[in-house]
Protein backbone atom coordinates (compact mmCIF):
# COMPACT_ATOMS: atom_id res chain seq x y z
CA UNK A 1 0.00 0.00 0.00
CA UNK A 2 1.47 3.30 -1.01
CA UNK A 3 1.62 6.08 1.56
CA UNK A 4 -1.48 5.03 3.49
CA UNK A 5 -3.08 8.00 5.19
CA UNK A 6 -5.82 7.99 7.80
CA UNK A 7 -8.50 9.44 5.48
CA UNK A 8 -7.78 6.84 2.79
CA UNK A 9 -7.64 3.80 5.06
CA UNK A 10 -10.50 4.81 7.32
CA UNK A 11 -12.57 5.69 4.27
CA UNK A 12 -12.27 2.12 3.01
CA UNK A 13 -14.03 0.89 6.13
CA UNK A 14 -16.69 3.60 6.29
CA UNK A 15 -17.86 3.61 2.69
CA UNK A 16 -21.34 2.23 2.20
CA UNK A 17 -22.20 1.75 5.88
CA UNK A 18 -25.84 2.53 6.71
CA UNK A 19 -26.76 5.50 8.85
CA UNK A 20 -27.45 4.79 12.53
CA UNK A 21 -27.51 6.53 15.85
CA UNK A 22 -24.22 6.90 17.69
CA UNK A 23 -23.73 4.47 20.59
CA UNK A 24 -21.00 3.32 22.95
CA UNK A 25 -19.16 0.02 23.10
CA UNK A 26 -16.06 -1.78 24.35
CA UNK A 27 -12.91 -2.35 22.29
CA UNK A 28 -10.23 -4.82 23.36
CA UNK A 29 -6.74 -4.49 21.93
CA UNK A 30 -4.63 -7.64 22.00
CA UNK A 31 -0.87 -7.13 21.79
CA UNK A 32 1.27 -10.10 20.73
CA UNK A 33 5.06 -10.26 20.74
CA UNK A 34 6.09 -12.27 17.68
CA UNK A 35 9.76 -12.50 18.69
CA UNK A 36 10.67 -15.96 19.98
CA UNK A 37 11.20 -15.79 23.75
CA UNK A 38 10.60 -12.06 23.47
CA UNK A 39 10.39 -9.63 26.36
CA UNK A 40 7.16 -9.21 28.28
CA UNK A 41 4.54 -6.86 26.90
CA UNK A 42 2.73 -6.32 30.20
CA UNK A 43 2.78 -2.60 30.92
CA UNK A 44 3.35 -1.59 27.28
CA UNK A 45 1.47 1.58 26.43
CA UNK A 46 -1.49 1.15 24.10
CA UNK A 47 -3.02 4.16 22.35
CA UNK A 48 -6.44 4.02 20.67
CA UNK A 49 -7.12 6.73 18.11
CA UNK A 50 -10.77 7.34 17.22
CA UNK A 51 -11.83 8.77 13.85
CA UNK A 52 -15.11 10.30 12.75
CA UNK A 53 -15.67 11.12 9.09
CA UNK A 54 -12.00 10.30 8.50
CA UNK A 55 -10.78 12.88 11.04
CA UNK A 56 -9.21 12.00 14.38
CA UNK A 57 -11.42 13.13 17.25
CA UNK A 58 -9.94 11.43 20.31
CA UNK A 59 -6.88 9.57 21.58
CA UNK A 60 -7.22 7.17 24.52
CA UNK A 61 -4.45 5.45 26.48
CA UNK A 62 -4.20 2.24 28.49
CA UNK A 63 -1.61 -0.34 29.55
CA UNK A 64 -1.39 -3.92 28.31
CA UNK A 65 -2.05 -6.45 31.07
CA UNK A 66 -0.16 -9.70 31.64
CA UNK A 67 -2.15 -11.29 28.82
CA UNK A 68 -1.27 -8.45 26.45
CA UNK A 69 -4.77 -6.99 26.49
CA UNK A 70 -5.88 -3.39 26.89
CA UNK A 71 -9.60 -2.70 27.25
CA UNK A 72 -11.25 0.58 26.28
CA UNK A 73 -14.76 1.10 27.63
CA UNK A 74 -17.56 3.34 26.39
CA UNK A 75 -15.97 4.24 23.09
CA UNK A 76 -18.15 6.11 20.66
CA UNK A 77 -19.47 4.13 17.69
CA UNK A 78 -21.34 5.18 14.59
CA UNK A 79 -21.67 4.73 10.82
CA UNK A 80 -18.68 6.96 10.15
CA UNK A 81 -16.52 5.94 13.12
CA UNK A 82 -13.30 3.91 13.10
CA UNK A 83 -10.37 3.18 15.40
CA UNK A 84 -6.68 2.39 15.10
CA UNK A 85 -4.61 0.93 17.94
CA UNK A 86 -0.90 1.55 18.51
CA UNK A 87 1.27 -0.41 20.93
CA UNK A 88 4.65 0.92 22.04
CA UNK A 89 7.23 -1.78 22.71
CA UNK A 90 10.95 -1.28 23.30
CA UNK A 91 10.78 2.34 22.19
CA UNK A 92 9.04 1.47 18.93
CA UNK A 93 5.43 2.04 17.84
CA UNK A 94 3.49 -0.78 16.14
CA UNK A 95 0.09 -0.12 14.65
CA UNK A 96 -3.00 -2.22 13.94
CA UNK A 97 -5.27 -2.23 10.95
CA UNK A 98 -8.29 0.12 11.19
CA UNK A 99 -11.44 -1.19 12.86
CA UNK A 100 -14.84 0.04 11.63
CA UNK A 101 -17.01 0.89 14.65
CA UNK A 102 -20.40 -0.28 13.43
CA UNK A 103 -22.98 0.83 16.01
CA UNK A 104 -24.82 -2.48 15.64
CA UNK A 105 -21.96 -4.20 17.46
CA UNK A 106 -21.26 -3.76 21.17
CA UNK A 107 -17.89 -5.50 21.26
CA UNK A 108 -14.86 -4.79 19.06
CA UNK A 109 -11.30 -6.08 18.94
CA UNK A 110 -8.00 -5.04 17.39
CA UNK A 111 -4.74 -6.94 17.15
CA UNK A 112 -1.25 -5.43 17.24
CA UNK A 113 1.82 -7.51 16.49
CA UNK A 114 5.03 -6.24 18.08
CA UNK A 115 8.63 -7.41 17.93
CA UNK A 116 11.64 -6.98 20.11
CA UNK A 117 14.01 -4.45 18.56
CA UNK A 118 17.59 -5.00 17.44
CA UNK A 119 20.29 -2.81 15.89
CA UNK A 120 22.00 -5.78 14.22
CA UNK A 121 21.78 -4.57 10.62
CA UNK A 122 23.81 -7.59 9.48
CA UNK A 123 20.46 -9.41 9.38
CA UNK A 124 19.35 -7.19 6.49
CA UNK A 125 19.98 -8.13 2.87
CA UNK A 126 18.51 -7.93 -0.62
CA UNK A 127 17.43 -11.04 -2.47
CA UNK A 128 16.59 -9.80 -5.96
CA UNK A 129 17.24 -6.26 -7.17
CA UNK A 130 15.92 -5.21 -10.59
CA UNK A 131 16.83 -1.89 -12.24
CA UNK A 132 14.85 -0.84 -15.32
CA UNK A 133 16.31 1.97 -17.43
CA UNK A 134 14.48 3.68 -20.29
CA UNK A 135 14.58 6.98 -22.18
CA UNK A 136 11.69 9.27 -21.30
CA UNK A 137 11.93 12.52 -23.28
CA UNK A 138 15.02 14.40 -22.15
CA UNK A 139 15.78 12.10 -19.25
CA UNK A 140 16.66 8.56 -18.31
CA UNK A 141 14.01 7.03 -16.08
CA UNK A 142 15.14 4.45 -13.53
CA UNK A 143 12.70 2.13 -11.78
CA UNK A 144 14.12 -0.09 -9.06
CA UNK A 145 12.59 -3.10 -7.31
CA UNK A 146 14.33 -4.51 -4.24
CA UNK A 147 13.38 -7.63 -2.31
CA UNK A 148 14.41 -6.50 1.18
CA UNK A 149 14.94 -9.28 3.70
CA UNK A 150 15.13 -9.29 7.48
CA UNK A 151 16.28 -12.79 8.42
CA UNK A 152 15.69 -12.32 12.15
CA UNK A 153 12.53 -12.34 14.24
CA UNK A 154 13.19 -8.82 15.51
CA UNK A 155 12.51 -5.39 14.12
CA UNK A 156 15.80 -3.96 12.90
CA UNK A 157 16.74 -0.33 13.44
CA UNK A 158 20.17 1.33 13.39
CA UNK A 159 22.63 2.91 15.79
CA UNK A 160 23.59 5.33 13.02
CA UNK A 161 21.80 8.63 13.56
CA UNK A 162 21.53 11.83 11.58
CA UNK A 163 21.70 15.40 12.88
CA UNK A 164 18.03 15.20 13.95
CA UNK A 165 18.61 11.92 15.83
CA UNK A 166 16.75 9.88 13.22
CA UNK A 167 18.09 6.35 12.58
CA UNK A 168 19.46 5.69 9.09
CA UNK A 169 18.18 2.12 8.81
CA UNK A 170 18.33 1.46 5.07
CA UNK A 171 20.57 3.59 2.87
CA UNK A 172 20.11 3.62 -0.90
CA UNK A 173 22.69 5.24 -3.15
CA UNK A 174 21.49 6.81 -6.40
CA UNK A 175 23.38 8.09 -9.47
CA UNK A 176 24.81 11.59 -9.41
CA UNK A 177 22.32 14.24 -10.47
CA UNK A 178 19.19 12.16 -9.82
CA UNK A 179 15.87 13.99 -9.55
CA UNK A 180 12.11 13.43 -9.17
CA UNK A 181 12.46 10.60 -6.66
CA UNK A 182 9.18 8.74 -6.14
CA UNK A 183 8.71 5.76 -3.81
CA UNK A 184 5.84 3.34 -3.33
CA UNK A 185 4.85 0.09 -1.65
CA UNK A 186 6.87 -0.53 1.50
CA UNK A 187 8.41 2.95 1.71
CA UNK A 188 6.54 5.82 3.36
CA UNK A 189 7.34 9.43 2.43
CA UNK A 190 7.46 10.86 5.96
CA UNK A 191 10.10 8.30 6.91
CA UNK A 192 12.45 9.02 3.98
CA UNK A 193 15.33 11.49 4.09
CA UNK A 194 16.66 12.50 0.68
CA UNK A 195 20.35 13.40 0.38
CA UNK A 196 22.54 14.45 -2.56
CA UNK A 197 23.71 10.80 -2.78
CA UNK A 198 20.31 9.10 -2.54
CA UNK A 199 18.03 8.52 0.45
CA UNK A 200 17.70 6.61 3.69
CA UNK A 201 14.70 5.17 5.50
CA UNK A 202 14.27 5.98 9.20
CA UNK A 203 11.71 3.25 9.93
CA UNK A 204 12.69 -0.08 11.43
CA UNK A 205 12.44 -3.17 9.23
CA UNK A 206 10.00 -5.85 10.43
CA UNK A 207 10.93 -9.54 10.07
CA UNK A 208 10.34 -11.18 6.71
CA UNK A 209 10.53 -9.99 3.11
CA UNK A 210 9.37 -6.60 1.85
CA UNK A 211 8.97 -5.08 -1.59
CA UNK A 212 10.83 -1.78 -1.98
CA UNK A 213 9.95 0.16 -5.12
CA UNK A 214 11.15 3.59 -6.23
CA UNK A 215 11.89 5.56 -9.38
CA UNK A 216 13.87 8.64 -10.36
CA UNK A 217 15.26 10.43 -13.39
CA UNK A 218 18.70 11.51 -14.63
CA UNK A 219 18.97 14.22 -17.27
CA UNK A 220 20.47 13.44 -20.70
CA UNK A 221 21.16 16.96 -21.90
CA UNK A 222 24.76 16.00 -22.58
CA UNK A 223 26.38 13.57 -25.01
CA UNK A 224 26.94 10.67 -22.63
CA UNK A 225 25.70 9.86 -19.15
CA UNK A 226 27.92 7.99 -16.72
CA UNK A 227 26.02 6.00 -14.10
CA UNK A 228 27.53 4.62 -10.90
CA UNK A 229 25.30 2.55 -8.65
CA UNK A 230 26.78 1.71 -5.23
CA UNK A 231 25.53 -1.33 -3.33
CA UNK A 232 24.69 -0.75 0.35
CA UNK A 233 23.31 -4.17 1.41
CA UNK A 234 24.45 -7.70 0.56
CA UNK A 235 22.60 -8.51 -2.68
CA UNK A 236 22.11 -12.03 -4.01
CA UNK A 237 21.26 -10.99 -7.56
CA UNK A 238 21.05 -7.69 -9.42
CA UNK A 239 19.62 -7.43 -12.93
CA UNK A 240 19.71 -4.29 -15.07
CA UNK A 241 17.26 -4.00 -18.00
CA UNK A 242 17.83 -1.66 -20.96
CA UNK A 243 15.66 -1.25 -24.06
CA UNK A 244 17.78 -2.12 -27.07
CA UNK A 245 17.85 0.65 -29.67
CA UNK A 246 17.27 3.56 -27.29
CA UNK A 247 20.97 4.22 -27.12
CA UNK A 248 24.30 2.59 -26.46
CA UNK A 249 25.18 1.00 -23.13
CA UNK A 250 28.87 0.43 -22.38
CA UNK A 251 30.83 -0.81 -19.39
CA UNK A 252 28.94 -3.95 -18.42
CA UNK A 253 30.22 -6.24 -21.15
CA UNK A 254 27.86 -8.29 -23.27
CA UNK A 255 24.27 -8.64 -22.04
CA UNK A 256 23.40 -11.94 -20.42
CA UNK A 257 20.35 -12.24 -22.62
CA UNK A 258 17.48 -10.37 -24.25
CA UNK A 259 13.74 -10.35 -23.67
CA UNK A 260 11.12 -9.60 -26.30
CA UNK A 261 9.13 -6.51 -25.41
CA UNK A 262 5.38 -6.22 -26.02
CA UNK A 263 6.07 -4.26 -29.22
CA UNK A 264 8.78 -6.68 -30.33
CA UNK A 265 11.70 -4.42 -29.35
CA UNK A 266 14.39 -6.43 -27.51
CA UNK A 267 15.24 -5.57 -23.94
CA UNK A 268 18.76 -6.42 -22.87
CA UNK A 269 19.54 -7.44 -19.35
CA UNK A 270 22.78 -7.70 -17.39
CA UNK A 271 23.16 -9.86 -14.30
CA UNK A 272 25.50 -9.50 -11.34
CA UNK A 273 25.50 -11.87 -8.37
CA UNK A 274 26.76 -12.00 -4.78
CA UNK A 275 27.30 -8.26 -4.45
CA UNK A 276 28.72 -6.81 -1.24
CA UNK A 277 28.26 -3.37 0.37
CA UNK A 278 30.64 -0.98 -1.34
CA UNK A 279 30.56 -2.80 -4.69
CA UNK A 280 29.73 -0.55 -7.62
CA UNK A 281 27.91 -1.08 -10.89
CA UNK A 282 29.29 1.46 -13.38
CA UNK A 283 28.28 1.98 -17.01
CA UNK A 284 27.84 4.68 -19.63
CA UNK A 285 24.84 5.51 -21.82
CA UNK A 286 25.07 7.52 -25.03
CA UNK A 287 23.54 7.97 -28.50
CA UNK A 288 20.04 8.33 -27.14
CA UNK A 289 16.98 7.69 -29.29
CA UNK A 290 13.66 8.11 -27.52
CA UNK A 291 11.15 5.44 -28.44
CA UNK A 292 7.68 4.58 -27.30
CA UNK A 293 8.01 3.23 -23.79
CA UNK A 294 7.38 -0.45 -23.35
CA UNK A 295 5.20 0.05 -20.29
CA UNK A 296 3.64 -3.37 -20.62
CA UNK A 297 7.01 -5.06 -20.28
CA UNK A 298 7.90 -2.99 -17.22
CA UNK A 299 4.60 -3.99 -15.64
CA UNK A 300 5.25 -7.68 -16.30
CA UNK A 301 8.75 -7.48 -14.85
CA UNK A 302 7.57 -5.55 -11.83
CA UNK A 303 4.70 -7.96 -11.17
CA UNK A 304 7.23 -10.59 -10.12
CA UNK A 305 7.64 -8.69 -6.89
CA UNK A 306 3.93 -8.41 -6.21
CA UNK A 307 3.82 -12.03 -5.09
CA UNK A 308 6.90 -11.82 -2.88
CA UNK A 309 5.08 -10.31 0.08
CA UNK A 310 1.73 -8.88 1.15
CA UNK A 311 2.61 -5.33 2.13
CA UNK A 312 1.85 -5.03 5.83
CA UNK A 313 -0.06 -2.04 7.15
CA UNK A 314 2.22 -1.76 10.14
CA UNK A 315 5.61 -0.14 9.81
CA UNK A 316 7.86 0.86 12.65
CA UNK A 317 9.32 4.14 13.72
CA UNK A 318 11.16 5.26 16.89
CA UNK A 319 8.88 6.39 19.71
CA UNK A 320 8.64 9.91 21.06
CA UNK A 321 6.04 12.17 22.55
CA UNK A 322 3.76 13.63 21.54
CA UNK A 323 2.40 11.33 18.83
CA UNK A 324 1.24 13.32 15.83
CA UNK A 325 -2.20 12.47 14.52
CA UNK A 326 -2.13 11.18 11.00
CA UNK A 327 -1.75 7.92 9.19
CA UNK A 328 -3.43 4.69 10.02
CA UNK A 329 -1.07 1.81 9.48
CA UNK A 330 1.97 3.84 10.49
CA UNK A 331 3.14 5.86 13.47
CA UNK A 332 3.58 9.58 13.63
CA UNK A 333 7.17 10.75 13.22
CA UNK A 334 8.74 9.85 16.52
CA UNK A 335 12.17 9.80 18.06
CA UNK A 336 13.89 7.38 20.36
**Backbone φ and ψ of 151, nearest 5°:** -80, 0
Residue 313 resides in a domain: no
| Residues 88, 44 contacting (CB under 8 angstroms) | yes
- Owning domain of residue 84: 6-115
Categorize the per-residue pLDDT at 22 as very low, low, confident or very high, splitting at 50, 70 and 90: low
Mean model confidence pLDDT for the chain: 82
- Output the pLDDT for position 307: 39
In this prediction the pTM is 0.76
Same domain for 174 and 242: yes
Structural domain includes residue 326 = no
- Please report whether residue 334 resides in a domain: no
CATH number of 268's domain: 2.60.40
Rounded Cα distance between 54 and 325, Å, is 12
Total tally of structural domains belonging to the chain: 2
177 and 284 share a domain? yes
Specify whether 167 is located in the same domain as 298: yes
Q: Are residues 34 and 77 in the same domain?
A: yes
Residues 276 and 241 in one domain: yes
Does pLDDT of 10 surpass 70? no
Tell which of 115, 147, 169 closes a domain: 115
Supply the DSSP string of 51-96, one letter for each residue: EETTEEEEEEEEE--TTSEEEEEEEEE-TTEEEEEEEEETTEEEE-
Q: State how far the Cα of 219 lies from the Cα of 216, in Å rounded to an integer.
A: 10
Residues 136 and 282 grouped into a single domain: yes
Same domain, yes or no, for 273 and 190?
yes
With respect to residue 321, please indicate whether it lies within any of the assigned structural domains.
no
**Do the domain assignments include residue 329?**
no
Kindly report the CA angle at 56 between 52 and 62, in degrees rounded to 5?
Answer: 110
| Across 81-90, 168-177, 295-304, least confident range | 295-304
* Mean pLDDT value across residues 46-75: 96
Per-residue pLDDT of 264-315, as tens digits, reads 778 899 999 999 999 999 999 988 865 544 444 444 455 444 433 333 333 4
Q: How confident is the model at residue 181 (pLDDT cuts 50, 70, 90)?
A: very high
Q: Mark whether 98 and 11 lie in a shared domain.
A: yes
Q: Examine residue 244 and state whether it is found in any structural domain, yes or no.
A: yes
| Whether residue 273 sits in one domain with residue 143 | yes
Amino acid sequence: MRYSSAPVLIGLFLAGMPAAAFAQARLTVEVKNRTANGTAIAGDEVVLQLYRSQEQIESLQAKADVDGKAVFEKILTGPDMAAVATAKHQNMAFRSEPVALNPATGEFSASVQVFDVSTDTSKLSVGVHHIMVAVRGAALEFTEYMQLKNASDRAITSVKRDAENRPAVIEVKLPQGFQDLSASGYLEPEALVVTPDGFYDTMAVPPGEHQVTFSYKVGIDRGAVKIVKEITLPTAELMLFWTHGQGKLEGLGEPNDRLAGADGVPIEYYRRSALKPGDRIAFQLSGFSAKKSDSYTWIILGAVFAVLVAIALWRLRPKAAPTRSGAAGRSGQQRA
